[in-house]
Amino acid sequence: MTSTLEVGSGTLVAPWTDWARQTTSGRRLLEAGTYALTEGAIAAGCRVFAGYPITPATDIAEYMSKRLPQVGGYYVQCEDELAGMHACAGASLGGLKAMTATSGPGYTLMHDAYGWAVTNEIPLVVVDAMRVGPISGITGAPGQGEFYVARYCTHGGNFETIVLSPCSVQEAFWLTIDAFNLAERFRTPVTILTDQVVSDMWEDLFVPADSDALDFVVPRTSNLMMPFFPVGSADLDVAPNVIGRGTGVCVSAYTHTEEGYDIEEMEAQWAQTYRLVNKIRHHRAECTRYETLGLEDAEVIAVAYGANARTVKTGVVEARRRGVRAGFVRPITLWPFLDELYAADRHYVVCELNYDGQLVREVMRAAPDKAKVHFMGKSAELHTVAEVVAGLEGVIRTGRVPELPYIWTEVR
Amino acid sequence: MNKLAAKYLRPSQIPTKACHGCGIGMIENWLLQAIDELGLKQEDVIFGTGIGCVGRQTFATWGGDNFGATHGRALAVATGLKLAQPDKKYLIVVGDGDAASIGTSHLIHAARRNLGVTVICEDNMGYESTGGQFSPTTPAGYVTNSSPYGMAEPSFDPCDVVKAAGATFVAETTATQWHQTVKIVKKALGNDGFSFVHVRFPCNENFGAYALGTRDTLKNLEWIYEHTQGRKADGSESDFTWETGIKHDASNSRPEFSKIMRDVNARVQAEMAAKRG
């Protein structure tokens, strides 16, 4: 599923490098990230959007309300985000691909439905366009505060999640199709963790002419027989369950048997956990998407995702121009976490849009030497190229990120 | 197992874990009678429920397709499911916690949309699976394990709420009214829109024990019956009266939610076709 494209001296590992080569007939537009997320979903076969408007994801709802009736789909503006994601889960159980979109305050409300969809193995896609917080924060400013929230998107533990993050309008389009594909193959909700900048910015966008002809879209299939829940198995590509076809399927919030019956036994809990965790862990390679640049000779590697990766990458290119042996890693798959990207014993400078230090903690865990993992946290505004260059130069010359206004470096 | 249970339910899931004397099984049997009298088959009905006594004791008993939603969200799930499976009948069997407390906003908006489902709100007047705390339908003044000095808040009638929100069929009944309940459920299922049936039933272990002072099923049923009559067995007036029966019947008077959505699609696509010439 994953192909590789050399970009300058960089590498992009993602299935859409092939998709872009294959798909030549289409329209070139100047459009917003929200438009790309919407059209990507429609191209992937999404036919239900249920959600609640929230900045900066509102335009997805508006675009969906216009587009879905045109393609025989349904836009439901729900009473709240709880209803939105539950309605998506219901639609998906009925056999229709579904998506919802929100920002942090709504994503928090979805944790109830997220757990229900995880445990019942319901494919659907959730977009979280992150803004700076906590809570309402600044509605029109980017943040990256939900890195861990997206991983631990519901209570109770005993599950893995798939989380992807695009860095451009075009990538948002392809990545949305990819998210739907992964949701179908893994029978699980997939979060697209984007941000206010990618959502709101307008860029060059190619949209294929005929979305019905995209043979890389994983179609919806329906599981019409037992076992409804292959507990104890890590199998991929198990057809999702369907309600309304008379199979006698049972889905619920409880620990379940393979029939879907509620059960209060340790062995059953273990078998369900094995399924929910290992269907993803055993197939991590199917989820691996990332971009790198200059790793072959890098002494210091900048790490960033989402919109922030744009200025950070430019900072790396600028640092290299100045003679700093700098490299760049952009994880597109945030979860399951790609430990292998940090296997080399190098300095890492993790740039993210929060002062807590979230991504950096995982890089510290994965990298050979935690002392060589540095943090450049910023909030509500992308890192400037100058800040990134100063950070990379500082690490090479002095072993640490220099003091810079608005940049926090402490990880506690 | 009786004939109706054998026809519609799952032998492996019967009997449920319900307490001795619980009304949930009896009411489910009445639902089966209504389904049977309407000639519906297992595959015609999707059975949805929530959390609590009613959710736990009815989930997966239905022989057809089942879902047990998170607490309060059965109607939110049904809103999406109905779009994908519009031709099915939906029995949403939930308790007073699901319908009248944690999920009330979904109840109100499902009624407003005229979502084509029949909600059976089986109301045991408190949170009994967590040990007997008051709920928004516990009568004022009654003692529960979280109202040891008597329920201080006023209660509300969920029938009033859904009627105001636009439900097209609203009825109230109790676990003491077998034939009336069957008749009402049949009418509710005949409405291609949002139907709400409120059924009060006794909990012997908690509400009965703490609010009424007895775990005796018959005494608890008698307490409910007295409140449907406004009069106790000794002829004295009861402290309040529940008006049972059909409270609002506007069945099939306005379009069902998923039909509205399909009609929008048909109109939009016709306009697109006209533009293309």
Each residue of A143-197: pLDDT tens digit?
A: 999 999 999 999 999 999 999 999 999 999 999 999 999 999 999 999 999 999 9
pLDDT in tens, A222-270: 999 999 999 999 999 999 999 999 999 999 999 999 999 999 999 999 9
Q: What kind and span of H or E run contains B160?
A: helix B158-165
* CB-based contact A244 B65, cutoff 8 Å: yes
pLDDT in tens, B125-139: 999 999 999 999 999
Which residues from A are below 8 Å from B64, CB to CB?
A: 246, 248
DSSP-derived pairing of the beta strands A46-51 and A250-251: unpaired
Min Cα separation B270/chain A (Å): 9
DSSP-derived pairing of the beta strands B169-174 and B245-249: antiparallel
State the pLDDT confidence band at A1, using cuts at 50, 70 and 90: very low
State the pLDDT confidence band at B17, using cuts at 50, 70 and 90: confident
Of all residues in chain B, what percent carry a pLDDT higher than 90?
Answer: 98
Which amino acid appears at position A217 of this protein? V
**Plot region of A405 (φ>0 → left; ψ -120 to 50 → alpha; else → beta):** beta
B94 in contact with A, Cβ within 8 Å: no
Distance between CA atoms of A292 and A301, rounded to whole angstroms?
Answer: 9
Over residues A293-305, mean pLDDT: 97
Residue A336, CA distances (Å) to A178, A189, A365, B220 in order: 15, 13, 14, 54
A112 in contact with B, Cβ within 8 Å: yes
Over residues B190-200, mean pLDDT: 98
State the pLDDT confidence band at B5, using cuts at 50, 70 and 90: very high
Which residues from B are below 8 Å from A74, CB to CB?
A: 83, 261, 265
Question: Which of B58, B77, B108, B276 to probe the A interface (max A CBs under 10 A)?
Answer: B77
Q: What is the predicted pLDDT for the residue at A212?
A: 84
Q: What is the predicted pLDDT for the residue at B261?
A: 98
Closest CB to A79: pick one of B64, B69, B105. Answer: B105
Q: What is the predicted pLDDT for the residue at B133?
A: 98
Q: A345 pLDDT exceeds 70?
A: yes
* CB-based contact A250 B261, cutoff 8 Å: no
Give ∠ CA B158-B79-A52 in degrees, rounded to 5.
Answer: 95
What is the CB neighbour count within 10 angstroms for residue A396? Answer: 17
Residue A65, CA distances (Å) to A38, A54, A76, B181, B264 in order: 10, 14, 8, 41, 11
* CB-based contact B70 A253, cutoff 8 Å: yes
Token pair of B117, please?
């489902």
Q: A3 pLDDT exceeds 90?
A: no
DSSP-derived pairing of the beta strands A326-331 and A300-303: parallel
What is the CB neighbour count within 10 angstroms for residue A365? Answer: 12
**Cross-strand bridge partners of residue B197:** B120, B171
Q: A6 pLDDT exceeds 80?
A: no
The answer for residues whose C-beta is within 8 angstroms of residue B54's C-beta and 6 or more apart is B24, B93, B94, B95, B98, B122, B124
DSSP-based three-state secondary structure for A359 = helix
* Chain mean pLDDT for chain A: 96
Min Cα separation B86/chain A (Å): 9
Min Cα separation A202/chain B (Å): 27
Which residues from B are below 8 Å from A73, CB to CB?
A: 265
* CB-based contact B73 A246, cutoff 8 Å: no
Interface of B with A in 169-188 (CB under 8 A): none
B79 in contact with A, Cβ within 8 Å: yes
Q: Where are the beta strands (DSSP E) in B103-167?
A: 118-123
* CB-based contact B80 A76, cutoff 8 Å: yes
The sign one gets for the Cα dihedral A298, A303, A306, A309 is negative
Going by the DSSP 8-state scheme, the letter that residue A250 receives in this structure is E
Over residues B146-171, mean pLDDT: 97
State the pLDDT confidence band at A291, using cuts at 50, 70 and 90: very high
pLDDT in tens, B46-95: 999 999 999 999 999 999 999 999 999 999 999 999 999 999 999 999 99
* CB-based contact B66 A83, cutoff 8 Å: no
Which residues from A are below 8 Å from B40, CB to CB?
A: none
Selected residue with higher pLDDT from A2 and A89: A89
Min Cα separation B250/chain A (Å): 24
Token pair of A147, please?
């890195």
- B3-276, what's its fold? Rossmann fold (3.40.50)
DSSP-based three-state secondary structure for A108 = helix
Going by the DSSP 8-state scheme, the letter that residue A256 receives in this structure is B
**Cross-strand bridge partners of residue A333:** A164
Distance between CA atoms of A117 and A132, rounded to whole angstroms?
Answer: 27
Residue A242, CA distances (Å) to A144, A197, A252 in order: 35, 37, 13
By the 8 A CB rule, do A54 and A46 touch? no
B76 in contact with A, Cβ within 8 Å: yes
Domains of chain A and CATH, by start: 15-213 (3.40.50.970), 289-398 (3.40.50.920)
The answer for residues whose C-beta is within 8 angstroms of residue B250's C-beta and 6 or more apart is B168, B169
Over residues A60-72, mean pLDDT: 98
Nearest C-alpha neighbor of B124 from the set B135, B115, B116: B135
* CB-based contact A50 B42, cutoff 8 Å: no
B82 in contact with A, Cβ within 8 Å: yes
Token pair of A5, please?
């494209």
Token pair of B269, please?
């696509």
Q: B25 pLDDT exceeds 80?
A: yes
pTM equals 0.97
Token pair of A196, please?
């206010």
Question: Which of B14, B40, B54, B70 to probe the A interface (max A CBs under 10 A)?
Answer: B70
Q: What is the predicted pLDDT for the residue at B1?
A: 73
In chain B, domain spans: 3-276
How many CA atoms, within 13 angstroms, populate the side-chain half-sphere of residue B123? 29
Please state the separation of Cα A227 from the chain's center in Å: 29
Residue A151, CA distances (Å) to A111, A165, A334 in order: 11, 13, 9
